[in-house]
Amino acid sequence: REIAPLGNLNPAAHTLPTDHLYLNVNTAAGVAVVASVVAPGNLVVTEVSQQTRSGGSPNDGVNYGMRFFPCADVAMYFSHLTSLTAEFAARVGPISSCDPPYTSGGITSTECRKQVNLTLAAGSLIGTAGGPSFPGIDFGGADARVPELAFVNPSRSYGYGQGFGQNHTICPVDYFVPP
């Protein structure tokens, strides 16, 4: 189990430094491990997504994401959860607003999203991470209160002019206290 830090380079998907951590749950030997994912604090979940991939990649199948706020000025997200608990999925309901499929590198992906307004208490079970398709999850965030990062051309960064764009990237684990 490991954490790959902010700024990780992982071509071909990430040819620029990442704005999120990787929380990898599979062992270094590549053994598929499944771990529970819990709310890292008291949260308001505002969006849940479902992505389906096909085309022969090790990442084929369905994975989930969620955008959440521990407070009004801090937006965070998880990506690539391998499952949602039945309870959380029932609270979310059907995720049916989908973007058109796209293909990149021979892999076809479809992304569906649902806007929600759900509160979760710290420690609430959300779903799982890891397994044969995804070694772990992405964990990212932005804080509208922090000074903008120094990009060469800030207007070309994701979310420029919005408080929750790449210009306000933070290390999300710094915002929570271990249990």
Q: Report the alpha-carbon distance of residue 85 to residue 33 in Å, rounded.
A: 17
Residue 2 in this model has a pLDDT that exceeds 70: yes
pLDDT of the residue at 28: 64
Q: 15-41: per-residue pLDDT in tens?
A: 777 788 988 887 667 678 899 999 999
Q: 34-83: per-residue pLDDT in tens?
A: 999 999 999 999 999 999 999 877 778 899 999 999 999 999 999 999 99
Beta-sheet strands, E only, within the chain: 2-4, 20-24, 34-38, 43-54, 61-71, 74-81, 83-84, 97-98, 102-104, 107-120, 125-130, 136-143
Indicate the pTM of the whole model.
0.90
Preceding amide of 12 cis, omega within 30: yes
Q: Report the alpha-carbon distance of residue 13 to residue 22 in Å, rounded.
A: 13
